[in-house]
């Protein structure tokens, strides 16, 4: 079976680097995007299995990018995990996401959440 492709959308380089490494260690193939615009482009080109989305990002934030994903027939069914240092920004839009994780978030929790969502 081919490994699941996880798209990590995160503007902070230090955070994106280590999350990619953690997810690779857990056996996933990792795609990376530095903002919401890149996340949409990568999602269209590579059709990730699941997306881990930061909220505060330049150019296009995670909330806007996720709304855009939900409007595209090919992408709307991809599970999106919001991972943010400020969960209050999504308080009114929780239904957009398949899971919400607050930063700091342990890799164990992230990996378990991804596994649960992929098993559904």
Partner 1 sequence: MLPRRNIGILAVVPRTRAIDLELVRDPLLDAVTAIASARDEAAVCVIVRRAARELTDADGVTFVLRKGNRCYYADEDAIGPLWKGRQFPIDTCISGWAMLNRQHVIVPDIYSDDRIPHDAYRATFVKSLAMVPVRREDPIAAIGAYWAAYHMATPVEIGVLQSLADAAALALFNVQLDADLKTALRQEREAREAAESASRLKDEFLALLSHELRTPLHVINNWLWQLKQGNAMPPMILSKALDVIERNTALQSRLVDDLLDVSRAAAGKLSIDAQLVDLGAVCRSVVELSQPAAREKSIVLTISGDGDPRIWGDPERLQQVMSNVISNAIKFSAKGGRVDVQVMREGSLASVVVKDNGPGVPPEFLPHMFDRFRQADASMTRRQGGLGLGLTIVRDIMALHGGTVRAESAGKDQGTSIHLEFAVAEESRASSDVHRPPAGSKQPVH
> Which residues are at the interface with partner 1 (CB under 8 A)?
11-12, 14-15, 17-19, 21-22, 25, 56-58, 85-86, 88, 102-108
Cβ 11 vs Cβ 58: under 8 Å: yes
The nearer residue to partner 1, 4 or 35, going by C-beta atoms, is: 35
Nearest approach, Cβ of residue 25 and partner 1 (Å): 6
Q: How far is Cα 75 from Cα 69, in angstroms, rounded to an integer?
A: 6
Residue 51 Cα distances to 28, 29, 65, angstroms: 12, 12, 11
Rounded to the nearest whole angstrom, what is the least distance from the CB of residue 9 to partner 1 in the complex? 14
CA 25/CA 100 separation, integer angstroms? 22
Tell me whether residue 42 or residue 55 sits nearer to partner 1 (CB atom). Answer: 55
| Min CB(57)–partner 1 separation in Å | 7
- Of the pair 44, 94, the CB lying nearest partner 1 is at 94
Answer yes or no: are the C-beta atoms of 5 and 48 closer than 8 Å. yes
């Amino acid at each position: 079976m081919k490994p699941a492709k996880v798209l990590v959308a995160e503007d902070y380089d230090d955070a994106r680097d280590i999350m990619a490494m953690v997810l690779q260690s857990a056996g996933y193939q990792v795609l990376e995007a530095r903002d919401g615009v890149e996340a949409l482009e990568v999602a269209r080109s590579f059709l990730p299995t699941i997306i881990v989305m930061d909220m505060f990002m330049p150019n296009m934030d995670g909330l806007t990018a996720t709304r855009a994903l939900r409007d595209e027939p090919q992408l709307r069914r991809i599970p999106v995990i919001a991972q943010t240092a400020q969960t209050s920004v999504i308080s009114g839009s929780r239904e957009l996401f398949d899971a919400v994780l607050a930063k700091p978030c342990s890799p164990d929790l992230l990996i378990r959440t991804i596994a649960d969502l992929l098993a559904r």
